[in-house]
Every structure is written in structure tokens, then in C-alpha cells.
Amino acid sequence: MPRPEHEEITPVTEKPTGEKNPQPGVLSEDDEYNGELPPQADLPAALPESLTGAIVMPTHPVAARRAGSAVASVVQSDTAPALTSSVEIDTTAIAPSVALTEAASAAESAARRGRARPMRLGDPETSAMLTADRLLEVNRKTRRPPRGGWNRFVYSSTFHLVNRGDSAKVRAKLELDERIQKHFEGGTRFVPVLTRKGGVGKTTVTTLLGMALADARNDRVMAVDANPDRGTLAERIGARSDATVRDVVSKAPSIGGFTDFSAFVSRDATRLDVLASDSDPMLSEAFDENDYNVVADLASRYYSLVLTDCGTGIVHSVMRATLQRADSIVIVSGGSVDEARLASETLTWLDANGYGELVSNAVVALNTATQGTNLVKLEEIEAHFHSRVRQIVRIPYDPLLAAGSVVTWSELKPLTRFAARTLAALVAEGLPATRSL
């Protein structure tokens, strides 16, 4: 029987005390409803087609709201100030919701049972799913010994009887190491470090980023000083080579392997290799686009990650070749008003010249050691860059960096090393894991 399309108001007379409601299916004050169903009962089949109940309403009738397939009608009494509302509920809509609930519960139970199960039912598991975390019961014998700190001392002093596992500090360090050690397939990843203003710590950030990557990773990491003018990147490394990018370009045909190439680079204690820029002021030809391509082609044979310390000339030909190879970029900004504005203008120039994807994936290194930082609201600078790039990292003041001399990774302040490692993790996460050659 079709239901009315609109709400109907009908008078209800007061019935004598003790008299049952003559209308079947309508609950009165003397009626009692038992909501228990037999075990294994089918809820949609056990419910009646509709339920109707009398509800005492306020003096002023309120129009019932229609929700889904539920139909409500309000009935006003002529003899009492209150209203009696007869509400009819369509139970046919309960079945789909019950089915959905049962399906969701089954899916949740399956997800709890199989931590590394295949997504589709019936698919065979791969051998990679047989991990130690899944197969081994964690107990005193199978738990990995603590790696440093107080927990390691307790483990050793109790003859391996008390194994508390790694401390929170050690676990955080290992987690950061894992992020930095992201595996790459399909060739070398290039990361330029750039800005339009000199003196904001671009070379310092390149040094910190390269050391953090090389110290945590097991593959080869290289930093190239691609400043067309005289760069100072190699001066931040203790063990220096007299060779420069010019030597690599001139002797490129004779370089047949990594041993030959390694003779041109400087290497520090973290295993970061640095290729110096031209230092001879008498050279008539500056380092250009073709020279950079020669160096980059050779570096791509032997290194997994290549950082490029760019010059301030953003329209120079070297910058064009650098950006064409870039997989991600690091923008360096100082803590003053003009330094932050010029760093933002660098992003604007990149966006306007077809490098929008690099901008959205960029990481900004905010160097807080520059002059005027203590007078500027750094939070406002970060809020501005958050609207344009992927992440921002503050580089704290460190006396060893401020001296402008050789940087020794182990002698940096812990907070400085942590900032550099955080920057390295964010850069690695933004690089593609696989790429077709």
C-alpha cells in the first residue's frame, strides 16, 4: 500500500483507562515491546513491515522530518494540550545497512588476521611476505640486543638476561636512518641547492646535506661545485684534491672507471666526495652548460646521488642544465626579510619557467645563523613557504659553520646534525624510487 506523500494531522480521542488500543500494530502506554530475537534470527526477516508508536509531543506541533525512506505523521489531540505523534518506520531499509555492517566486520577481522596477506582473496603470497617480524615470536632469545645507551649496559651487565630493547632515542635515530637510506633504481638522482642571493649559507647547506646523506647511506654520494665563478665548497672538506671541474672536463676521454674519477674529488670522513670549481682567476672561459653536462654524465656512472651547489646567477647556462637533470631541489633562505623575499622570488621564477613540479616538491632550508634572524618572525617565513613547497627545515646556528672553515661532521652540535639528517630524510623521500633509464 503506497504511503501518503505529505504529513497528515488527525484528531485522537482519549481512551478509557485500562482499555487496549484497538488498532493492531500500534503501541500504547499499557503495551510492552520485547526487543529480544531468537538466537541466529535474521533481523530483517524478523521485523514487521512497519512499526508504529504513540509519542507525546509538546503543545506546539513540530513538522516531522523525512529521512531516507522513513515516513512520519503527526496527530494532534483535541482534548489535551499535548500532542500524540504516531511515527511509522519503514524497516525494509534495515537489511542493506545490516549487510554492509556484517561485510565491514568481516573485512576488519580478515585484516587483523593477516598482517601481510595479499589484497585479493586466493592470490598466492610472495617470498617477501615471509619476514622475520611475521614468523618469529618476540621473546628474550629472539629480541634484538639493544644498540647503545643504558639499555645496552643493562643487557651486558645481566649476562643477556634482561633485554629491554632499544630506547626511544635509538629507535628514532634508526627510523631517520631508514628514511635517509631509501633505495633508488634506474640511475642517478640529481638535487640542486640554489637561491638567488649569495651569502645565505647555500654552500654550508650543501655540505651538511651531503655529509648527512653520505654518513647514513651505503652507496656513493657526490657534491659538485657548479658555481660559474669561484666556489668554496671544496674548502669545507678536510682532505682536498687540487683537481677541479675543469680538469674533469679536459680529461674526460681518459676516465675509464671509478678509480680514475676518484682522483679528481676530495673525500671527507663521511665518504662524501666533492668536486671543486675553478679557482684560477686567470681563466678566460667560465664553467658553462656543456662543461656541466660532461661532469654530470661521468658522475651518473659511479654515484647514486649528486648534489649541485649552484651559483647565484639563476639565468646562467649552467642553471638550465642543472634544472633539466633535477629530480628535486633545495631552496636556501636566510632569516632576514630580503633573504626570505629573494628565496620566494626564486620559487616564482622556477614556477614561471616550467619547473612547477620541482617547486611543489621542493624543500626549503631556513638558515637561522644569518644576520637579523633574531629580529624576524621565523614562524611567518615558514608559514609563507609552507604554502609553496613540500617541507621546511631550520638550520640552527653552529660556531663551526659560522667560522667558514673546514666542517667536521662529528664535531658539529647534536642539534645541527639532527637538522641536517632531517633535511636529508626529507630530500630522499621526495626523490622517485624507480625511474626508467
Give the domain ranges of the chain. 184-429
Q: Of 37-46, 168-177, 361-370, which range is least confident?
A: 37-46
Please tell me the distance from the alpha carbon of residue 141 to that of residue 157, in angstroms, as a whole number.
16
Confidence of residue 140 (pLDDT cuts 50, 70, 90): low
What mean pLDDT comes out for the span 404-431? Answer: 95
130-144, 327-341, 386-400: segment of lowest average pLDDT: 130-144
**Helix-helix angle 414-429:202-216, to 10 degrees:** 80
Alpha carbon distance 251, 260 (integer Å): 10
Cell readout for 302 is 659511479
Percent of the chain exceeding pLDDT 70 equals 68
Per-residue pLDDT, averaged over 87-113, amounts to 49
Grid cell 512497519 is found at: 50
pLDDT at residue 70, rounded to an integer: 39
What's residue 72's pLDDT?
39
- Which residue carries 614556477 as its cell? 351
- Could you tell me the fold of the domain covering 184-429? Rossmann fold (3.40.50)
pLDDT at 128: 74
Q: Directed axis angle between helix 337-352 and helix 378-386, to 10°?
A: 10
Instruction: Work out the mean pLDDT of the chain and round it to a whole number.
Output: 77
Please tell me the distance from the alpha carbon of residue 233 to that of residue 225, in angstroms, as a whole number.
6
Concatenated DSSP letters of 82-103: SEEEEEEEEGGGHHHHHHHHHH
Percent of the chain at pLDDT exceeding 90 = 45
pLDDT score at 437: 64
Query: Could you write out the DSSP letters of every residue in 156-190?
Result: HHTTTS------HHHHHHHHHHHHHT---BSS-EE
User: pLDDT band at 282, cuts 50/70/90?
Assistant: low
Cα–Cα distance, 26 to 48 (Å, whole number):
12
Given a cut of 60, whether residue 22 has pLDDT beyond it is no
More confident residue, 371 or 44: 371
Which has more confidence, 368 or 149? 368
Task: Report, as an integer, the average pLDDT of 142-164.
Answer: 74
Task: Find out whether 402 and 236 touch, Cβ atoms under 8 Å.
Answer: no
Q: Is the pLDDT of residue 303 over 90?
A: yes
* DSSP 8-state class, residue 14: P
Residue 116 has pLDDT above 50, yes or no: no
Residue 48: which pLDDT band, with cuts at 50, 70 and 90?
A: low
110 has pLDDT over 50: no
**Count of CB atoms situated within 10 Å of the CB of 80:** 13
Locate 349 and state its grid cell: 621564477
Closest alpha carbon to 138 in 103, 163, 170, 106: 163
Whether the model pTM is above 0.75: no
pLDDT at 135: 79
Name the most confidently modeled range: 58-62, 64-68, 148-152: 148-152
Q: Which of 307, 304, 191, 215 is nearest to 258 (CA)?
A: 304
> Which of 21-35, 62-76, 87-101, 223-237 has the least mean pLDDT?
62-76
The region of weakest confidence among 19-23, 70-74, 219-223, 367-371 is 70-74
Predicted confidence band of residue 342 (pLDDT cuts 50, 70, 90):
very high
Give the pLDDT confidence score for residue 165 in this predicted structure.
73
pLDDT tier, 120 (very low <50, low <70, confident <90, very high otherwise): low
CA-CA distance, 387 to 404, in Å (whole number)? 32
Instruction: Tell me the pLDDT tens digit for each residue of 182-214.
Output: 999 989 999 999 998 888 899 999 999 999 999
Q: For residues 274-278, give the mean pLDDT.
A: 90
**Adjacent-strand bridge partners of 282:** none
pLDDT at 360 over 80: yes
Residue 139 pLDDT exceeds 60: yes
Q: Which residue has the higher pLDDT, 143 or 405?
A: 405
**Helix 414-429 and helix 168-180, axial crossing angle in degrees, nearest 10:** 40
